Amino acid sequence: MLRWILFVIVYLAMGLYTLQALRSATRYPWMYYLYMILALLILGNFIYQFTVGDETGRVLNRPKSYAFGFLIAIITFNLITIFFLFSEDIYRLLIGGYRRLFGDEREFSLPERRRFLSLIALGLASLPFGALLYGMYRGKYRFRVLNYDLEFKDLPEEFHNYTITQISDVHSGSFDNRKKIEYGVSLINKQKSDVILFTGDLVNNKTSEMEPWADLFATLEAPDGKYSVLGNHDYGDYIPWDTEEAKAQNLEDLKALQRQMGFDLLLNENRYLKKGGGKIALIGVENWGRGGFKKAGDLKKASEGIAPADFKILLSHDPSHWEDKVIHDDLHYHLTLSGHTHGMQFGIEIPGWVKWSPVKWRYKYWAGIYEELGQFINVNRGFGFLGYPGRVGIWPEITVIRLRKTGKA
């Protein structure tokens, strides 16, 4: 209860500060009232959803996600505005103190400067505020296809120009627009890759979240099949369960559903993709993550029977596994496919110029292709979304990787 009281006090204090910027910038009272009504509605909805809403506790349902999204948007707006005005207040305080110290009793007031700074603050604050709203309205379904060509000296010749479509982090429990998901699934099929590989987090928490969408994802097709692994959310670790048996059954149901959808689920095991006389070892581990995430992945077990000379593709949900275990393993894993980070669903990307997201402070390898010790990893930015119900700058991704043998046209 105390934390809610403190939160409301801080939120209202931020709102009052922002209101001062509005009063300095405009003389239209309706703008003050509009801001106050909007701020109070967002606060009220957030408190309601996280206290007495339909689902309380740790279950992050759609209403809660949107309540959180709107709260983040307006807090961002407030913080940027406050930054400018607080800087101005500090400046005024220092000048006023200096004059008082040296006996200058003239009033220090620069109303035009205050109005100018308020306009600048509100203008800049409106950019991320609008972007966060756009991310919830359109950005979360702004699917894009990213294509990569990767060359390997020891790729079997039969697999030259072999294509892989990777998807990750579906998070079906967050979906709220069937037509958009239909479009995303059709876009995956449109790539006509040789194989489809899914790298975990089919649901947020429960198998039932995927059931309304299973028929759509069952239509995914590739000549050499569809393979998958589990992500940290697939185990149901983030919500309370009535019994451990119910939690275990949920995981078994999820495994069964993936198989019904046509996916070959790799649980610390491997398969061979064969083409003519050549073959590629496809290895899948259960989730292994640094920093408190489940460590069910067993790389040694998953690679049993794989020869050192085999060309290897590893499916591992969390890229920290690659950093901590895979690239230093005795076996050489030519290509690892991961997801998990979502690129934090927020950042700035201009191909060839800028690639930034706050998630880089947590994960060294957070989006796209990286190479270390002659081994590659692709970290997929995710198909779905979680928490904040949108995406800004880091759009939902379908990855297409073409394998090429070095020196072969």
CB 203 within 8 A of CB 172: yes
CB 17 within 8 A of CB 49: no
For the segment 59-78, what is each residue's pLDDT rounded down to a tens digit?
677 888 999 999 999 999 99
| Domain 141-405 is found in CATH 3.60.21.10 | yes
344: left (phi over 0), alpha (psi -120 to 50) or beta: left
pLDDT, residue 91, reads 55
Q: Radius of gyration (Cα) for the chain, nearest Å?
A: 26
Break the chain into its structural domains and give their ranges: 2-137, 141-405
Q: Is the dihedral of CA 275, 278, 284, 290 positive or negative?
A: negative
Of all residues in the chain, what percent carry a pLDDT higher than 90?
76
Give the residue carrying structure tokens 């979240």. Answer: 209
For the segment 354-399, what is each residue's pLDDT rounded down to a tens digit?
999 999 999 999 999 999 999 999 999 999 999 999 999 999 999 9
Is 183's pLDDT higher than 70? yes
Is 344's pLDDT higher than 90? yes
Is 19's pLDDT higher than 60? yes
CA angle 279, 282, 288 (to 5 degrees): 160
Evaluate if pTM is beyond 0.75.
Answer: yes
Closest-CA residue to 167 (of 129, 135, 197) = 197
pLDDT, residue 57, reads 54
φ, ψ for residue 152, nearest 5 deg: -140, 135
Is 237's pLDDT higher than 70? yes
pLDDT, residue 321, reads 98
